[in-house]
A = this chain, B = another copy of it.
Amino acid sequence: MAMSLHLRQNSDMQCPMDGLLRMLMGPWTTYILWLIRSNGPQRFGQLRKQMPTISAKMLTERLRMLEEVGILHREQEETIPPKVTYSMTERGHDLNKVLDDLAKLAVKWDCPGAEKAAREKMPKKAS
């Protein structure tokens, strides 16, 4: 904790994207968004089945975070066993447009270079 009383990285600097990127950056985040957009609102367990290697803890955490920033909506039925469904908010749809553009770029480039670098020099978990 070298800089707790300092600039927190550059979040206090002039770049307004910081918060947004920090959110998208999280592991699995965009993959979750993609699943919900493609297949509609879904329950916790359904999402989990589509991401065989995610841990429950991680999935919970990501979903909670996406809810907190207002991108996903969480609907809970208090039955037992419980039933929780996640869907996109309006804000979520805003985001999808940008993500689409990003996806187009990814397809356009689709170079082995990116593949290679992704394996070596970048954070391990994305999507």
Contacts and interface: CB of A to CB of B under 8 A. Distances in A.
Interface string A54-98: 000000010011001110000000000000000000010011011
Nearest to A103: B17
Given A98-B105, A126-B25, A64 B121 contact: yes
Interface residue SS majority, chain A: helix
Given A7-B52, A117-B65, A127-B9, A19 B98 contact: no
A19 B53 contact: no
A5 interface: no
B30 A117 contact: no
Interface of A: 2-3, 6-11, 13, 15-28, 30-31, 34, 51-53, 61, 64-65, 68-70, 91, 94-95, 97-99, 101-103, 105-111, 113-119, 121-127
19 contacts: A9-B27, A9-B28, A9-B125, A10-B51, A13-B127, A15-B30, A16-B106, A16-B110, A19-B118, A20-B114, A22-B118, A22-B123, A25-B126, A61-B121, A68-B121, A69-B113, A91-B109, A94-B105, A98-B101
